[in-house]
A and B are shown apart, each in its own frame.
Chain A
């Protein structure tokens, strides 16, 4: 698989948010603003990259019986490092992400990738997997955040898009808006994938496509 394909896989086919449906807690909680989505996504990507690299490097050293505690220690370390760096250098983001920053530790995406991918693949592949999944997560959160911010506050990335006097649908800034947006986005992606899937199946095996069509 080429590098590009490896990255694409995380963004589309195995998109953690819309396809794998992992890491729902931070997804729902922090995506009130587009910038929060970017921040959370990048923080997760950094942790993911670090843990994937270390887990992949140590995959032959860590005994099978203690692999989960080992992974968690490694992940927790990276999360704490990211958290400290963010508090020192990006405080407003640190404050916006709040409790969800330390909770990256228990984000299933990270342990999932460590367990399912990094512990079985080479260093390079694991790094690409982390970047792909991380980018997919970041993009999903950013899109969700942008939509909610636009509908809820009339801004995108803090820039005024709609006139300030416009009557905004505040519900999109509140928790229910997160569920609604996520649901609609998933429906959209599933719809698109289904069509694409049909097309690609049709391209590869016209007979099957015809029969199923």
Chain B
């Protein structure tokens, strides 16, 4: 054989056989190696949570996460994350948490902290302080956990990592609402908040204009100069640039970054930073006209909302930039719906014009979240009755509105000490009547009684004029309301300025429950001669429908 051909063939054969051999050995050992690696990892995981199986979650997660199972049942989670300690290498930390996101164990997987100083973070006694900490705990050094003196940097890094793990699992389990704040809902202005950083509180000022985050200023902080600078520099810029709060943290200054983010969230917490925004209680709104705007399909939609007697009575779109042929039917639909249902939470959008619909809804909400100045002269005529909390109990007042003037203000009932309260009422009532405003000086020495009176007047204004039965001419009036399962019709008999009889002509509700409501409500109204009666528990639907029907009947009489 040709010698050079022989060289190639022999070397080739040796390589070929070697490759075959290696493939075989690999095929044999690979599963064993894999199993061993898994067992070792599990053994490490078992240090932080008592479980026998650790499963990778199906979805991608922000941090390394394993679902810990024992006997097949999920008992908790293992989070592996890196904290930035003293050494640039970082501290590799395992945190075990139960299904309530409470810490079960913390284990330092690996670290390069200074021996003798930073390496004290591996002390099991110190690590055991985290046990039981959950999403409601601050997990901040000096408050509920201790740093290690002489190893502040290393131990604070561990504390921060544990806090992150808790928040992460809390979020993963849906225990923490991680809603991004809807900037469009935030009225223009500057808001202040604080967050806990490495050296203490970080205070920020956040400025909004036209539903956009325009400025984030760090007012004060105690962070390490130099180290924290990149975060202080970059985070506010990133927030404004990206128009979001949850921006990426700056590596090397994670704690400061998080403190700034937390401070901004704190500043905006009333707009849902910590959860969804509080629903608006329409019944407690002052009567008056509210203006607000929110982004529609193109630009802002501005609305004027009129509230009277605890109800939205009118909504006018002042300006918008959306395509009229789509937007206008949507606005009409939305306005009708809101006035009809008096509900801003469960609202249907006009199909085909969702953005315009949502914009209108948000504009209404923004309007109602704004402050309105109480204008007494704008209140409709009628008799007003309301309750407030005095010094010892309820204070009830009544007054009349005649052509925009507040008259006949009197205290119907109070439980405060007479010698103080009477003096207070004697000064306040003429003062209010004189000024036609609630902005009067409180009577000194009887502040609570005075406040009770003012609260009661405010309550009366919010409730709107009560129906004054004495003004209703004699006769039999019928009205309808919506019961639990359908329409409900009543006939109310008024005689000599008093309700003398209430008859339910027709209803669709379950008889045994409905009769409870009918008997209870009828008796209460006949006794008190007022529609301000409690609904019958167990038959709320029927009660409400009945009251609605009676009110409608009496109103038809007055008109």
Do A65 and B7 touch across chains, with their CB atoms under 8 A apart? yes
Q: How many Å from the CB of A11 to the closest CB on chain B?
A: 30
Q: How many Å from the CB of B187 to the closest CB on chain A?
A: 61
> Which of B19-27, B175-183, B203-211 has 4 or more CB atoms under 8 Å from chain A?
B19-27
Q: How many Å from the CB of B422 to the closest CB on chain A?
A: 86
Could you say which residues of chain A place their CB within 8 Å of the CB of B40?
Answer: 91
Chain A residue at minimal CB-CB distance from B6: A63
A-B contact pairs, 16 of them (CB 8 A): A62-B10, A62-B14, A63-B3, A66-B7, A66-B10, A73-B15, A76-B18, A77-B22, A81-B21, A84-B25, A84-B26, A85-B29, A87-B29, A87-B33, A88-B32, A88-B33
Distance A9 CA – B18 CA, assembled complex (angstroms) = 31
Distance A58 CA – B9 CA, assembled complex (angstroms) = 13
Chain A residue at minimal CB-CB distance from B40: A91
Q: How many Å from the CB of A102 to the closest CB on chain B?
A: 13
Q: Is B88 an interface residue (CB 8 A)?
A: no
Do A81 and B22 touch across chains, with their CB atoms under 8 A apart? yes
Do B10 and A63 touch across chains, with their CB atoms under 8 A apart? yes
Could you say which residues of chain A place their CB within 8 Å of the CB of B10?
Answer: 61-63, 66, 70
Do B25 and A70 touch across chains, with their CB atoms under 8 A apart? no
Could you say which residues of chain B place their CB within 8 Å of the CB of A89?
Answer: 32
Chain A residue at minimal CB-CB distance from B5: A63
- Per the 8 Å Cβ criterion, residues 33-60 of B in contact with A are 33, 36, 40
Could you say which residues of chain A place their CB within 8 Å of the CB of B73?
Answer: none
Q: How many Å from the CB of B180 to the closest CB on chain A?
A: 45
Q: Is B125 an interface residue (CB 8 A)?
A: no
Distance A58 CA – B29 CA, assembled complex (angstroms) = 28
Residues of A whose CB lies within 8 Å of any CB of B are 58, 61-63, 65-66, 69-70, 73-74, 76-77, 80-81, 84-85, 87-89, 91
Chain A residue at minimal CB-CB distance from B19: A77
Distance A62 CA – B7 CA, assembled complex (angstroms) = 7
Interface residues on B, range: 10 to 19
Q: How many Å from the CB of A73 to the closest CB on chain B?
A: 5
Distance A69 CA – B7 CA, assembled complex (angstroms) = 11
With A69-B11, A91-B36, A91-B40 given, name 15 new contacts (CB 8 A): A62-B10, A63-B3, A63-B6, A66-B11, A73-B15, A73-B18, A74-B18, A77-B18, A81-B25, A84-B29, A84-B33, A85-B25, A85-B29, A88-B29, A89-B32
Interface residues of A: mostly helix, strand, loop or mixed?
A: helix
Could you say which residues of chain B place their CB within 8 Å of the CB of A73?
Answer: 11, 14-15, 18
Chain A residue at minimal CB-CB distance from B36: A91
Chain B residue at minimal CB-CB distance from A84: B29
Could you say which residues of chain B place their CB within 8 Å of the CB of A88?
Answer: 29, 32-33, 36
Could you say which residues of chain B place their CB within 8 Å of the CB of A61?
Answer: 10
Of listed A88, A89, A91, residue having the most chain B CB within 10 A: A88
Q: How many Å from the CB of A144 to the closest CB on chain B?
A: 26
Q: How many Å from the CB of A167 to the closest CB on chain B?
A: 17
Do A70 and B11 touch across chains, with their CB atoms under 8 A apart? yes
**Per-position contact with A for B121-152: 1 when CB-CB < 8 Å, else 0?**
00000000000000000000000000000000
Could you say which residues of chain A place their CB within 8 Å of the CB of B36?
Answer: 87-88, 91
Chain A residue at minimal CB-CB distance from B9: A63
Chain B residue at minimal CB-CB distance from A95: B40
Could you say which residues of chain A place their CB within 8 Å of the CB of B11?
Answer: 66, 69-70, 73
Could you say which residues of chain B place their CB within 8 Å of the CB of A87?
Answer: 29, 33, 36
Q: How many Å from the CB of A119 to the closest CB on chain B?
A: 13
Could you say which residues of chain A place their CB within 8 Å of the CB of B15?
Answer: 73
Could you say which residues of chain A place their CB within 8 Å of the CB of B29?
Answer: 84-85, 87-88
Q: How many Å from the CB of A88 to the closest CB on chain B?
A: 4
Chain A residue at minimal CB-CB distance from B32: A88
Could you say which residues of chain B place their CB within 8 Å of the CB of A74?
Answer: 14, 18
Q: How many Å from the CB of B356 to the closest CB on chain A?
A: 65
Do A80 and B33 touch across chains, with their CB atoms under 8 A apart? no
Q: How many Å from the CB of A104 to the closest CB on chain B?
A: 15
Q: How many Å from the CB of A115 to the closest CB on chain B?
A: 16
Given A73-B15, A84-B25; A63-B32 close (CB under 8 Å): no
Q: How many Å from the CB of B12 to the closest CB on chain A?
A: 10
Could you say which residues of chain B place their CB within 8 Å of the CB of A69?
Answer: 11
Distance A196 CA – B346 CA, assembled complex (angstroms) = 102
Of listed B3, B10, B18, B33, residue having the most chain A CB within 10 A: B18
Q: How many Å from the CB of A183 to the closest CB on chain B?
A: 29
Distance A76 CA – B19 CA, assembled complex (angstroms) = 11
Chain A residue at minimal CB-CB distance from B21: A77
Could you say which residues of chain B place their CB within 8 Å of the CB of A66?
Answer: 7, 10-11
Closest 10 A-B residue pairs measured CB to CB? A77-B18, A88-B29, A88-B32, A84-B29, A66-B7, A63-B7, A66-B11, A81-B25, A88-B33, A87-B33
